[in-house]
Chain A
Amino acid sequence: MATSTPRGRPLSPHLQVYNLPITARLSVLHRGTGMILVFGTILLVAWLGVIASGSQNYLFINGILASWMGKIALIGFSFSLIYHLCNGVRHLFWDIGKGFENSCVNRTAYLTITIAVALTAGIWLLTTL
């Protein structure tokens, strides 16, 4: 426990120098995108509230969404959603005991991140062109 470590005592370097394998990186990303999506869902409900409240407010929120900050938020939300979906399917396969071999775990890791990035980029290219 962190609380039982005496102050000032040097820790052996671990997380700072340890090069995380791709599986660990994607695991962290899964949690991170999950947390983004919780806030994203609340913002989605806020967007619905604006639609329900009338066309004037909707025009205002459309202006925010069209700005570069709105664009970044939307791209971040869409990537988080698509990545969490793809990696979630990977997790569901693990839950039924499939795909645990080292080679398979690494292959699906690269496959997942490739599909997630390609799908996000594809959607944005298709909708903005």
Chain B
Amino acid sequence: MSFQTPLARAKGLGSAKDGTHHFMVQRLSAIALIPLTLCFVFAIIKLVGADYQTVVAWFKSPFNALLMISFILMSAWHGALGAQVVIEDYIHCESMKIFLLIIMKLATGLAAIAGVWFVVLINLRGGV
């Protein structure tokens, strides 16, 4: 139950009806991504092109697995918010805009789920 009048609610939420939520989450994920990206870059330059055993061994460490999962989740979230703004800014045809927003949200959501699943799989099962 809300004690706010409709006017008070509208004043806080703006035309998009979700207030500063998008803005805040975009900044929050950006802050989280600063240390995560630095760690990710540091790790990935040793992994790209390395042999299979080396890469699997890296993912066997729970700390590394957690780093990769955090980086993928935050990237997918931050990326979805950013892509949403880009689509809303440049696609003026309403039906096309909605269509692209749905595809984009589903794709980034699937990437996040798949990323977590793959890291868990490599961490628990190792190389095959």
Question: Which residues from chain A sit less than 8 Å from chain B, CB to CB?
Answer: 1-3, 31, 34-35, 37-38, 41-42, 44-45, 48-49, 51-55, 58-59, 62, 65-66, 74, 78, 81-82, 85, 88-89, 91-92, 95, 123, 126-127
Contact = CB atoms under 8 A, between A and B. Distances in A.
A-B residue pairs, 10 tightest by C-beta: A48-B118, A38-B79, A45-B115, A55-B52, A54-B128, A52-B121, A52-B118, A41-B75, A45-B111, A34-B82
B100 to A, nearest CB: 12
Among A45, A65, A78, residue most surrounded by chain B Cβ atoms (within 10 Å):
A45
21 contacts: A2-B92, A34-B82, A35-B82, A35-B83, A37-B79, A41-B75, A41-B76, A42-B107, A48-B72, A48-B118, A51-B56, A51-B122, A54-B127, A54-B128, A55-B128, A66-B49, A81-B37, A89-B34, A92-B31, A123-B41, A127-B45
Nearest to B104: A38
Contacts of B86: 31, 34-35
A37 B36 CA distance: 15
Contacts of A81: 37, 41
B75 A65 contact: no
B7 interface: no
Contacts, number: 91
Chain A, interface SS category: helix
Chain B, interface SS category: helix
Given A42-B111, A48-B122, A52-B128, 15 more contacts: A35-B86, A37-B75, A37-B79, A38-B80, A42-B108, A45-B111, A45-B115, A48-B72, A49-B114, A51-B122, A53-B128, A62-B49, A88-B33, A92-B27, A123-B41
Nearest to A66: B49
B30 interface: yes
Contacts of B52: 51, 55, 58-59
B114 A45 contact: yes
Contacts of B59: 51
